[in-house]
Structure 1
Amino acid sequence: MLHASPAAAHTRVERTRPANGDTVRTELTVVGIRFSRPVQASLTTLTLLRDGVSVPVPAVRMADSTGHEYVLDTGPLAAGAYEARWRTAGADGHVLTGTFAFVVAAPAVDSAATPGAPAAPPVGVVTAAAPSMVTDTVSAAQPGATGVVHSETERPLAVALRWTWFLALLGMIGVPAFRFGVLARITRDPAHAATAARAELGLGFIALAAASLSVVVLCGRLLLQASELGLTEQGWSGANLTGLLLRTGWGLAWVLQAIATLAFVTGMLVVRAPHGRAAGWMGAGGSVLLLAAVPSLSGHAAAVEGWTAIAILSDALHVLGAGVWLGSLAMLLAVGIPAALASGGDTEGVVAAMARAFSRMALVAASTVAVTGVASSLFHIDHPDDLWDTGYGRVLVLKVALLIGVAALGAHNWKKVVPAMGVDGGTRRLQRSARAELALAVVVLFVTAILVALPTP
């Protein structure tokens, strides 16, 4: 935690021109806003209202070559109370909206001033002569200087969609992980072949259900993102849709999720073909590697400057490790144990074989989650104080605490429950402890759905 992060991975407003609450007593011809990180130019809007009525001005333009600063060339503004409303999306796809207000007043007159000498500007005055907000004297640290800012990704519907997406993702990753890491191992014993075949059939139904959930999330995410960006108000034009999906990082991640979900479904359908079983499973396994990268491409990792590739890789491995660990656990409970119970014979023996194979795989996956989780935190936490002084830090601490609980239950299964398998009652004990582990993991996913929308320190 003493390691300094390369950059803050969330877009903020650095300053506005004029600053929120200022009174301008000189000619004002430019209104603008500057962000801490580059934002999507095609998705950035800035509108101006005077006494609640829209002011006709040219479209917002980029004022620098980096995508940090945007301005309106308003021409000389008449006296009155103004409100500027802005909306944008950063590299992580998070939509931000906000407002800042200012007053344009008549120039102040200093009766005591020397004739012919310019009057000193009163406190709070912002001149419009500065060529760039980089040299503006207004500090973003001033309370309320940047106005009101809202992050649309914190809305309950957005959290629910992300939570559902995480559940679908763990299901899709868990299917091939359980097939290759558990069923492929127990089939080495011919006595377990019938159970493995029955469980593999069940995996097909789980896979299609998880993929269907992913499709629902795809539609929901697109509608929500378009609504937040105001595209639905402009109509569903091809240009708007193309700009959102192909010219933004969020859109490319959405397209990747759609393509990978389609590849996953295709692979699972090929599995059912007379001679396509091996190719189908390989295709499904390859598609989940792409799916694991989707959250990082549209999240905080994509906004880390300088170390973007490493941050994305770390997050993708984090998601993949969680999917292998918790997704396989869900498959063990949903199809593995039921298949063993339905097959008859040595139920305790085959469940014990599956549990041992799962434990070896889960140990590696959980270790990956721990290592990549620490690595990812270093990109977003500047100082240890951020863990309790910021909302992001407090939610991160909550997630880690819950995840430690999940790991503790997993360690109990590995050290106590699995070694005692093979005797009467062993399957029931495994089911009880695994259900508790999985239930707590679902809570961790919900906390994560909140965490990924919060601005980093």
Structure 2
Amino acid sequence: MKRTPRGAFSARLGAGLALLALPAILGAGRLHTLHTELKSSDPARDTVLADPPVAIKLTYTTDVQLALSSVEVRSSGPGDAAAGKLGYPADDRHDVLILPLNQPLANGTYTVSWATAGPDSHPISGTFDFTVAAPEQVAAGGARPPPAGNEAAELQAQGDGSGTRAGFDRSQALYRIMLYAGIVAVLGATVFRLLVLGPCARAGESREVIGSASRNATTVVAGGLGFLLVTIPARLWDQAEAFFPDDVAGNLLTVATGTPWAVSWWLLVVGVLLAGSGLFVRSRNGVRPFGWKVIATGALLLALVPVLSGHGWSDSPRALSAAATWLHVVAAGGWMGGLACVLLAGLPALRRHGAESPADAPGIAGMVDAFSRVAQVAVALLLVTGALKVWIHIGAVTDLWTTRWGRTLLIKDLLVAGVLALGFYNWRVVRPALAGDPHPRRLQRPAVFELLIGVAVVGVTAFLVGQPLD
């Protein structure tokens, strides 16, 4: 039996919902993907030691970045403990940090303060105490004696896993919103020019309309690049401040070199330069797409920035997670950014030239048809990659409402469901209606609502990627 268009879309929608449910079903028996936490310490938290330690050893659940790490040992008395250079125990053990102590510690209580970052470059930090009560010093100074064996073992067990992630930072969330908005704008304008206006031009749309819409799209690119230009110095300063609050300016080069986050920052710089240069090499009338191909190269590089500065780089298997994250960003930018360009670049160009529905050109209906084909591919990619990412992150169904990350993800999913519902309405109701009555008002209101919810999704995502997974 031949499937109707409504039936075909319903089948795709059902498959998409099944993909969204699949992670919850499969996730019930999975373990959490490891994200960076302090697994154990030596000395352990609240341990009372009979012998002073010769070093502080911190073991984490993932590899950590030495360049972004610091460990201090503070005495309850005046001054800090004299220590050597922080380092790894071996070239193949980057999940352990060791701080050698230059001289034996006197009896007393000491506080270890540490800060580091895992593969995703998110800052984490913590503190714990331990006490030195050497017997010979106890006799001389009356310090507290060490506990018996069972008590010492209990205190040792309590010390494992101490440490916390950095708290919520409003400035970082604001920079991420600007970063994602800029990437979506550049990606969306590129998709609109090459994959929407391209088919319209081949279908007979006038050069005047194509040129006008292309010039409008370059304005969207310029706006996105404006956001990104603000985030370039802001993100660098903020990252340095997170790890080196006492000397931010002196450590800008440290955070800009030798880490995955540094690679993402340089990709941001190169992507902005490429996309910006594309604006200058495009043809004056906006028709020839060479400049847009340069912009597209920059846009695809920009889509890598969230991969190297978020959870996607710390998940396992890393290659699969990174590829899924990159495709997710490209699909989201193409869909939401492309829709914004239909409203802000395409419709004004059609109105300006009186070409909403000319007899010999696609008009508004043809433009919406071209975008709908792009949107369907983008939605399919979003569903598949989103389901894969949730499956990687979520260890059990209950994580969706028992962890802050899971609850934020649920909010995002509800917003995405709203965007999908409006997209279905626009595809199934508005698009066919435009063939008979191509007035822009038929499209504008539902498309604007769809876009506004999409903007909310971007905002929630900016908070989501900065949160720990538990």
Work out whether the TM-score is over 0.5.
yes
- Confirm or deny that 1:22 pairs with 2:32: no
1:244 corresponds to which of 243, 249, 255: 255
Secondary structure in 2 aligned to 1:226? helix
2:156 corresponds to which of 95, 118, 138: 138
2:94 corresponds to which of 63, 67, 72: 67
Give the Cα separation in 2 of the matches to 1:12 and 1:184. 49
1:316 corresponds to which of 317, 323, 326: 326
Give the Cα separation in 2 of the matches to 1:298 and 1:364. 26
What is the deviation of 1:323?
0.8
Secondary structure in 1 aligned to 2:246? helix
Give the Cα separation in 1 of the matches to 2:248 and 2:375. 48
After superposition, the Cα gap between the structure-2 partners of 1:345 and 1:203, relative to the gap in structure 1 and judged at 3 Å, is: closer
Asked if the contact 2:331–2:381 (Cα under 8 Å) also holds between the matched residues in 1, the reply is yes
Report the counterpart of residue 7 of structure 2 in structure 1: none
Asked if the contact 1:174–1:331 (Cα under 8 Å) also holds between the matched residues in 2, the reply is yes
Give the Cα separation in 2 of the matches to 1:59 and 1:9. 28
Report the counterpart of residue 151 of structure 1 in structure 2: 166
Give the Cα separation in 1 of the matches to 2:69 and 2:354. 62
Report the counterpart of residue 440 of structure 1 in structure 2: 453
Report the counterpart of residue 469 of structure 2 in structure 1: 456
Give the Cα separation in 2 of the matches to 1:352 and 1:275. 22
Report the counterpart of residue 58 of structure 2 in structure 1: 33
What is the deviation of 1:146?
4.2
What is the deviation of 1:257?
1.5
Give the Cα separation in 2 of the matches to 1:234 and 1:155. 19
Asked if the contact 1:88–1:96 (Cα under 8 Å) also holds between the matched residues in 2, the reply is yes
Instruction: Give deviations 1:408-457, integer Å, cap 9, x for gaps.
Output: 11111000111111455742131110111111111111111111122225
Question: What are the equivalent positions in structure 2 for 1:307-456 lying under 5 Å apart?
Answer: 307-346=317-356, 350-424=363-437, 426-456=439-469
1:165 corresponds to which of 172, 175, 179: 179
- Confirm or deny that 1:99 pairs with 2:110: no
What is the deviation of 1:38?
0.6
Could you tell which deviates more after superposition, 291-300 or 52-61?
Answer: 52-61
Give the Cα separation in 1 of the matches to 2:267 and 2:413. 29
Report the counterpart of residue 131 of structure 1 in structure 2: none
Instruction: Give deviations 1:120-147, integer Å, cap 9, x for gaps.
Output: 7355437xxxxxxxxx9934xx4x7544
What is the deviation of 1:369?
0.5
Asked if the contact 1:325–1:362 (Cα under 8 Å) also holds between the matched residues in 2, the reply is yes
What is the deviation of 1:7?
6.4
Gaps in structure 1 of 5+ consecutive residues: 110-118, 127-135
Instruction: Give deviations 1:82-136, integer Å, cap 9, x for gaps.
Output: 1111111111111112211223235499xxxxxxxxx97355437xxxxxxxxx9
Amino acid of the structure 2 residue aligned with 1:218? I
Report the counterpart of residue 84 of structure 1 in structure 2: 112
Give the Cα separation in 2 of the matches to 1:376 and 1:235. 34
1:223 corresponds to which of 237, 242, 250: 237
Gaps in structure 2 of 5+ consecutive residues: 1-22, 138-145
What is the deviation of 1:12?
0.7
Give the Cα separation in 2 of the matches to 1:28 and 1:309. 40
Report the counterpart of residue 299 of structure 2 in structure 1: 288
Amino acid of the structure 2 residue aligned with 1:62? Y
Could you tell which deviates more after superposition, 27-36 or 262-271?
Answer: 27-36
Asked if the contact 2:241–2:248 (Cα under 8 Å) also holds between the matched residues in 1, the reply is no
Report the counterpart of residue 112 of structure 1 in structure 2: none
Instruction: Give deviations 1:193-240, integer Å, cap 9, x for gaps.
Output: 32221111111121112112111111111010011110x634645xx4
2:276 corresponds to which of 241, 247, 265: 265
Identity among equivalent positions (%) equals 30
Asked if the contact 1:420–1:426 (Cα under 8 Å) also holds between the matched residues in 2, the reply is no
After superposition, the Cα gap between the structure-2 partners of 1:148 and 1:302, relative to the gap in structure 1 and judged at 3 Å, is: closer
What is the deviation of 1:167?
0.6
Amino acid of the structure 2 residue aligned with 1:150? R
After superposition, the Cα gap between the structure-2 partners of 1:364 and 1:158, relative to the gap in structure 1 and judged at 3 Å, is: same
- Equivalent pairs counted in the alignment come to 433
Secondary structure in 2 aligned to 1:233? coil
- TM-score, length-scaled by structure 1: 0.87
What is the deviation of 1:352?
1.8
Asked if the contact 2:210–2:286 (Cα under 8 Å) also holds between the matched residues in 1, the reply is no
Give the Cα separation in 2 of the matches to 1:108 and 1:352. 89
Amino acid of the structure 2 residue aligned with 1:79? N
Instruction: Give deviations 1:242-293, integer Å, cap 9, x for gaps.
Output: 4422310110111111111111111121104689943211111122222112
After superposition, the Cα gap between the structure-2 partners of 1:9 and 1:435, relative to the gap in structure 1 and judged at 3 Å, is: farther
Give the Cα separation in 1 of the matches to 2:367 and 2:151. 71
- Confirm or deny that 1:55 pairs with 2:81: yes
Give the Cα separation in 2 of the matches to 1:262 and 1:6. 42
Asked if the contact 2:236–2:252 (Cα under 8 Å) also holds between the matched residues in 1, the reply is no
